[in-house]
C-alpha cells in the first residue's frame, strides 16, 4: 500500500547485534516492532546516544497523543536549577512535528543541538558541564533569536 517506502525485516537478535556494532546501518530507517522488543530496543538506542537524559518519546493514540521524556523524576536534584531539559524539549519538538509545525520544530531542535555542541560551559551537569537549567535554556533562546 506504500510503494514509495522500502520495506524489509530483520530478526531481533541480529538487529541488537548490528545496532551495537554500527547503528548507522539503521539511520534513516523507521523500525516497527511488537511491544516488548520496542521496550528493549528503545532503551538500547537511548544508551547508545547518551542516555535517557537526551531521549525524546511520543505516545501516539487514537484519542490523544502524548509526548514525554522517559528519564526518572530525579528527586535528588529537583528544584535546584540543575536539571537537563533536553529530553522534554526534544519530546516537544516531536510534538511540533506531529502537529505539522515542522519549521518551528527544526528551528528549536537545531538550536538545542547547537548549544550542546558549543562546549562544557553550555551543558548541564549530567553532560559534564556547568550550565544551569536556566542558562542552558537562555543559550538556546539566544541561538533561536539570532538564526530566525
Partner 1 sequence: DLAGPKVYGGNHTVTLIPGDGIGQETADSVKAIFKEARVPVTWEQFDVSGFTTGEDNLMKQALESLRRNKVGLKGILYTPVRQGHSSFNVAMRKELDIYASVATCKNIEGLESRHTGVDITIIRENTEGEYSGLEHQSFPGVVESLKIITRAKTERIARYAFDYALRNNRKKVTCVHKANIMKLADGLFLETCRRISQEYKETGIEFNDMIVDNTAMQMVNRPQQFDVMVMPNLYGSIVSNIGAGLIGGPGIGSRHVGKDIQGRNTANPTALILSSVSMLRHLMLDNYADMIENAVRKTIAEGTVRTPDMGGSNTTTDFTEAVMKNL
46 binds partner 1 (CB under 8 A): yes
How many helices (H) and strands (E) in the chain?
Answer: 5, 2
Rounded-to-integer distance, Cα 123 and Cα 86, Å: 10
Residue 80 C-beta: closest distance to partner 1, Å: 24
> Considering the rule CB under 8 A, would residue 31 count as an interface residue with partner 1?
no
For partner 1, the closer of residues 1 and 79 by Cβ is 1
Binding status of residue 51 toward partner 1 by CB under 8 A: yes
44 binds partner 1 (CB under 8 A): yes
Is 16 a binding residue for partner 1 by CB under 8 A? The answer is yes
Q: Is 113 in the site for partner 1 (CB under 8 A)?
A: no
Q: Residue 1, interface with partner 1 (CB under 8 A)?
A: no
Give the distance between the most distant pair of CA atoms in the chain. Answer: 52
Spatial distance between the Cα atoms of 117 and 107, rounded to a whole number of angstroms: 15
Cell of 142: 539566544
CA dist 70 and 56 (Å) reads 7
Contact set with partner 1 (CB under 8 A): 12-14, 16-21, 36, 39-44, 46-48, 51-52
Amino acid at each position: 500500500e506504500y510503494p514509495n517506502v522500502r520495506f524489509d525485516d530483520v530478526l531481533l537478535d541480529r538487529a541488537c547485534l548490528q545496532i551495537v556494532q554500527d547503528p548507522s546501518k539503521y539511520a534513516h530507517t523507521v523500525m516497527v516492532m511488537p511491544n516488548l522488543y520496542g521496550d528493549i530496543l528503545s532503551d538500547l538506542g537511548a544508551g547508545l546516544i547518551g542516555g535517557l537524559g537526551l531521549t525524546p518519546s511520543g505516545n501516539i493514540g487514537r484519542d490523544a497523543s502524548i509526548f514525554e521524556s522517559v528519564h526518572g523524576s530525579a528527586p535528588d536534584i529537583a528544584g535546584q536549577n540543575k536539571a537537563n531539559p533536553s529530553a522534554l524539549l526534544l519530546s516537544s519538538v516531536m510534538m511540533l512535528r506531529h502537529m505539522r509545525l515542522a519549521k518551528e520544530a527544526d528551528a528549536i531542535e537545531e538550536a538545542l543541538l547547537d548549544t550542546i555542541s558549543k562546549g562544557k560551559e553550555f551543558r548541564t551537569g549530567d553532560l559534564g558541564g556547568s550550565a544551569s537549567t536556566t542558562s542552558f535554556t537562555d543559550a538556546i533562546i539566544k541561538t533561536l533569536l539570532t538564526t530566525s
